[in-house]
Amino acid sequence: MTLRRITLRRITLRHCMALCCCLFGLFSLPSFAVESTSLDPLLADLAEAKISKMVPILDKIEKASDETVLPLFRTLLNGNLYYIKSTKQVVGQFDANGDTFYKDVFTGQANPTLTKRDVKKIRVNNTLRGYLRNAIARIQLTSKNPSVRESAVRELLSKLDDDTIGILERLYPNETNKKVKHAMGLALAMNTASQTKLAVSNRIAAIDTLADSLENDVRNLLTTLSNDENPAIQSASNAALDTIAQRANRFAFVDQLFFGLSLGSVLLLASIGLAITFGVMGVINMAHGEMIMLGAYTTYVVQLIMPNYIDYSIWVAIPAAFLVSGLMGVLIERLVIRHLHGRPLETLLATFGISLILQQLVRTIFSPLNRQVSTPSWMSGSWEINPVLSLTLNRLYILAFALFVFMALVIILKKTSLGLNVRAVSQNRNMAKAMGVKTNWVDAMTFGLGSGIAGIAGVALSQLTNVGPNLGQAYIIDSFMVVVFGGVGNLLGTLVAAFTLGIATKFLEPTTGAVLAAIIVLVFIILFIQKRPKGLFPQKGRAAE
């Protein structure tokens, strides 16, 4: 189980597995043909052996074989290994569409004729599982793929025994890959450091090398060693622990920064549409949060429609959400907002009414309960940079996506004729109208664009939080803060404000707690507005007021 979880979480490892499987597919057939002779009797033994007698047999299998035996061990570890009663041949069980099938463990070929009656399960217990995990790691140590080897070494750090050390000592001098060699060195140094029989100077040298590492196991070992009988060892391990703690703190800082950037990107997505409508039309769209919500629900519906293609659903959901929210925005503009032109406080009230209606609509259609949106597999997992720093992929993607949307919007506003008209209207509505700009059309398009981007933000948010009728409300006040802080109608200001607030919140949180951090940020903005009522980057010249 642990192994599976780790393979899932370590993206690099996962990719390597895939690669491995391909390699395996290419090489397994001839190599298996050679080995089958020596392996077959062992497998037959395994099928008949009692659970207590299995370790020696597995040992022999391990010695007699190489990487090709990995699928067998993995199947056994997961408790899916069976043998055919008549032939004593081992097979793996797998489920597809609710039915149970059996396949050859080595070739992966399904054997459709087998039924439950023909086979018997090979049982495993915890001792066996522990052994299997080590065995798998040991086999992987000789893998052709360096990153498989590396993760195998790291896997072994917590359970170094004499056997493994022996293997590592044998492999270390010949290892060519730097990373693997480093990891192996680490394992050997851990071993040296903990050997009380060795000379103190050797152990201290080993401890000093360990100071470079951020592995948990290394830290545990050093903590144990800091209570060693020998004072020299004690001080050396304490010094090493200090060095490690300093480095870990640096990475914790990076981690926090990443979370801040991630929150900032969410704020950016949520507020950028607001910045456009507010800046160009002077309209406070209180229903903006509900546009986000509609986008999130669109994602949900798209996934309902294509349940077997979750990985691709997001590529459908993004344009769909843009359209749904955008059209809703155009509708609202045509029906309500254009009648309230130049009266921002009234638009605030009317759009608030619209937000209530939309929330209740969603509640009536989808129920008031939160809906679960699944994350495409390529977005889940995390990028492990080192043992203390791993960045979740979905946040990383959303950060990139937010920046992409921002760039796209800047390009639309700078390079397209719509952008030209929008800028003209935002600077001087009457003049633009006199020059022949269809301000009505520009208004509707602007509002549609702003709402559509809110919809896209909803797609992104659906990957981070629950999708429910109150989704929009949770972000609306924050979005307003961002827009006000950055300076209305200023995209760059919105960008800077979103990331500033995001990072500030995440850096406050560890010391103050989430709620107090939110309050401090709000109070800060309230005070900031006193000093700069028009935000960070106020509009200048005639355009202002």
Tell me if 293 contacts other proteins by CB under 8 A: no
Tell me if 345 contacts other proteins by CB under 8 A: yes
- Please identify, using beta-carbon distances, which residue of 231 and 533 lies nearer to other proteins: 533
**Interface residue with other proteins, options 26, 305, 516, 543 (CB under 8 A):** 516
What strands, in cross-sheet order, belong to the sheet with 119-121?
Answer: 99-104, 90-96, 81-84, 119-121
Tell me if 540 contacts other proteins by CB under 8 A: no
Q: Map residues 305-344 to x or -, x wherever contact with other proteins holds by CB under 8 A.
A: -------------------------------x--xx---x
- H helices of 367-490, in order, are 393-415, 417-427, 429-434, 439-462, 471-486
CA 65 to chain centre: 37
Least separation in angstroms between CB 527 and other proteins? 7
Least separation in angstroms between CB 424 and other proteins? 22
Tell me if 106 contacts other proteins by CB under 8 A: no
Cα–Cα distances in Å, from 127 out to 55, 63, 80, 233, 473? Answer: 9, 19, 17, 34, 52
- Please identify, using beta-carbon distances, which residue of 531 and 540 lies nearer to other proteins: 531
Least separation in angstroms between CB 374 and other proteins? 29
Interface positions, 424-483, toward other proteins (CB under 8 A): 477, 480-481
CA distance 311 to 375: 8
- For other proteins (CB under 8 A), the number of binding residues is 39
- SS3 assignment, position 66: coil
Residue type present at position 186: L
Least separation in angstroms between CB 359 and other proteins? 7
- Please identify, using beta-carbon distances, which residue of 22 and 477 lies nearer to other proteins: 477
Nearest Cα neighbor of 266 from 398, 450, 381, 463 is 398
Tell me if 113 contacts other proteins by CB under 8 A: no
DSSP designation for 67: G
Least separation in angstroms between CB 530 and other proteins? 4
- SS3 assignment, position 101: strand
Tell me if 527 contacts other proteins by CB under 8 A: yes
Q: Quickly tell me which residue has 């209207």 as its tokens.
A: 425
Are residues 432 and 439 in contact, defined by beta-carbon separation less than 8 angstroms? yes
Are residues 519 and 513 in contact, defined by beta-carbon separation less than 8 angstroms? no
Kindly indicate which of the ranges 73-81, 349-357, 395-403, 413-421 contains the residues binding other proteins, using the contact rule CB under 8 A.
349-357
Residue type present at position 331: L
Tell me if 531 contacts other proteins by CB under 8 A: yes
Which residues on neighbouring strands pair with residue 90, listed in sequence order? 83
- Please identify, using beta-carbon distances, which residue of 274 and 318 lies nearer to other proteins: 274
Give contact residues for other proteins (rule: CB under 8 A): 284, 336, 339-340, 344-350, 352-357, 359-361, 363-364, 477, 480-481, 484, 515-516, 518-519, 522-523, 525-527, 529-531, 533
